[in-house]
Structure 1
């Protein structure tokens, strides 16, 4: 459990402590594939950790073939459903398996997938929560300077719509018109509120409006997508590639941004990115910036990587951000190594 440097203050929740599940997949040859999960609440850890331990027992002695392990793990949970916590557990296993396979091959994950090591454009999503406009404006300057960012994400959904608008204007006043601004309502509005508020900000030059209403209201999203000039962004709650396909069939968004613990890890992402690519739909990432950087190097419609440094305290060598670009280290696998002292300290907080 980690303390967030900038607590999450969103319409639907305030989060000060960030749970992490660290996963080590150990092969008979001694290679360790690593990944982590960020399940939002400590209670979710109580269900996910036993599921991961069950996978370890079930898959012992099997070859590290991520696609096969993905299918076996999913089918083992068929009777409790493929979505929700089942998919999150499978995703954690999958990311660790791909890391192990790339390490066994002695190449970075992006190279194993057919790409090359290089930078990925990123926006800073570490702050700009629901605080007063002057506080958020000062935060915007700090966030820009953390890595020479050219894009930032702010959160909307204050009690008064006019305060949201004032916050956008306050940020623009300090960072200028060249800064890309993404806006996220964190599913905090009903459809009536979303229609009013999204139309109100439709001329503010935002890169996108993200999840104004509850994630599974695809009819509402289709209406918003049809009515607004600003692109609608959804996808962090797609549980598997079929959810992405359904959303695109329903014309429920202009942009997609799957989350790795819900889309199905690397395997789920690759399948989802093929669907987005066929439709020409720009695809961004949600959380998990390390594995995200690797798959973005092989994603046909790669758009923006969401940069959040929330896992950095437990990493030996966090990824480097420079000039608004996340730089992939030229090392085998994903490049995750645990800072064991920090891990021990974080466990004391549980």
Structure 2
């Protein structure tokens, strides 16, 4: 059945706290459970669009969920038009600022709206956006945290085996440079030199420390240096990008496409990797990808692999999909990886449905 339009009816928002197979140990904190906010956008025509948010902090649902409801209340009875809704949602929250909770709430509803439209059209999201289903290169980001250096080799082998991965994310930024070097050596010894190592400092270094550490690691053949310093120190990123041989990656903290444009316009990075929760959902991603494409800058993803895979199929400078299985416990049909590729499934929408038994098990308020 084809609908001329979809009409916004209501939204259901449910926070869950899911277990992680490998605890996150990084400069941003220690997590053995992961908070996810599930969004179900119901329409008068019976289609339900689904999305989720990963807000890092369990208690952040207390202020994100009300913001989503406020936006939803203003849309009841109106046609779902993601581009216009993106603009109106941002405008409606501009008095409290365009970043932070404002953009997160707008992004969550935007992703659910696009999922609903694709379902109504009977198409995968990638197809609705003008692309096709198919494979997307992915690297495994499920482990290699700031844990015991001596255990990283076994961890790396297991991560490669999970899906025939050709690339892994390794976290660096230990107190001693020697320990970071030992971590790189241990992983390489376990999986070989052909596996690409994307290293992430999780904003854990000052600019001075980053200059020292990254220069010292610049001959290690690493695939990129991700967020060595605080995300908003763009002047520092300009300097690092200019001085280092290893490409500099940033962008998961870009709030909206204009932030990406500003960073690229001043040379603050070689690669970008927007996060759907912050860049503005599907609408924000499409606008940001046009900017990156015009600049010829390769664009990777951050979190949300199911939705991000669709978007990579329509991104001119598509680079790498970051793979985490953190949402798998509450998905009815988790996506699969084979030979280092995630193949976008040929089913309507983003292909995400909830395992309601698991949702009940992990629900919290």
Q: Which TM-score tier does this pair reach, normalised by the shorter chain? A: over 0.9
TM-score scaled to structure 1, two decimals? 0.99
Q: Once the two structures are superposed, what CA deviation does each residue of 1:290-321 show, in whole Å capped at 9, x if it has no partner?
A: 11000000000000000000001000001111
Q: 2:308 aligns with which of 292, 298, 315?
A: 292
Number of residue pairs the alignment of both structures matches: 349
Contact 2:67 2:101 in 1 (8 A): no
Q: 2:121 aligns with which of 101, 105, 120?
A: 105
Partner of 2:140: 124
- Give runs of aligned pairs for residues 166-205 of structure 1, distance below 5 A: 166-205=182-221
Partner of 2:112: 96
Return 5+ residue gaps in structure 1 as ranges. none
Partner of 1:222: 238
**Is the counterpart of residue 248 in structure 1 residue 264 in structure 2?**
yes
CA distance in 2: counterparts of 1:319 and 1:11, whole angstroms: 28
CA distance in 1: counterparts of 2:184 and 2:212, whole angstroms: 16
SS in 2 for 1:19: strand
Contact 1:224 1:232 in 2 (8 A): yes
CA distance in 2: counterparts of 1:56 and 1:85, whole angstroms: 14
* Structure 1 residue 133: Cα displacement: 1.9
SS in 1 for 2:212: helix
Partner of 1:58: 74
Contact 1:155 1:185 in 2 (8 A): yes
* Structure 1 residue 11: Cα displacement: 2.1
CA distance in 1: counterparts of 2:320 and 2:27, whole angstroms: 24
* Structure 1 residue 213: Cα displacement: 0.4
Partner of 2:172: 156
**Is the counterpart of residue 307 in structure 1 residue 302 in structure 2?**
no
* Structure 1 residue 70: Cα displacement: 1.1
CA distance in 1: counterparts of 2:125 and 2:181, whole angstroms: 42
TM-score scaled to structure 2, two decimals? 0.95
* Structure 1 residue 64: Cα displacement: 1.4
Deviates more, 1:175-184 or 1:129-138: 129-138
Q: CA RMSD in A?
A: 0.8
**Is the counterpart of residue 319 in structure 1 residue 346 in structure 2?**
no
CA distance in 2: counterparts of 1:255 and 1:328, whole angstroms: 23
* Structure 1 residue 136: Cα displacement: 1.1
Q: Once the two structures are superposed, what CA deviation does each residue of 1:263-312 show, in whole Å capped at 9, x if it has no partner?
A: 00000000000000001000000000011000000000000000000001
Partner of 1:334: 350
CA distance in 2: counterparts of 1:29 and 1:137, whole angstroms: 52
**Is the counterpart of residue 10 in structure 1 residue 20 in structure 2?**
no
CA distance in 2: counterparts of 1:306 and 1:143, whole angstroms: 13
Partner of 2:248: 232
Contact 2:51 2:108 in 1 (8 A): yes
* Structure 1 residue 346: Cα displacement: 0.3
SS in 1 for 2:189: helix
Once superposed, which parts of structure 1, at least 4 consecutive aligned residues long, lie more than 3 Å away? none
Partner of 2:11: none
Contact 1:287 1:307 in 2 (8 A): yes
CA distance in 1: counterparts of 2:155 and 2:139, whole angstroms: 14
Q: Once the two structures are superposed, what CA deviation does each residue of 1:42-80 show, in whole Å capped at 9, x if it has no partner?
A: 121101101111122110111111111111211110100
Q: Once the two structures are superposed, what CA deviation does each residue of 1:154-210 show, in whole Å capped at 9, x if it has no partner?
A: 000111111001100111111111101100000000011101110111011111000
CA distance in 1: counterparts of 2:321 and 2:58, whole angstroms: 26
CA distance in 2: counterparts of 1:26 and 1:335, whole angstroms: 16
Partner of 1:31: 47
SS in 1 for 2:111: helix
CA distance in 2: counterparts of 1:60 and 1:71, whole angstroms: 16
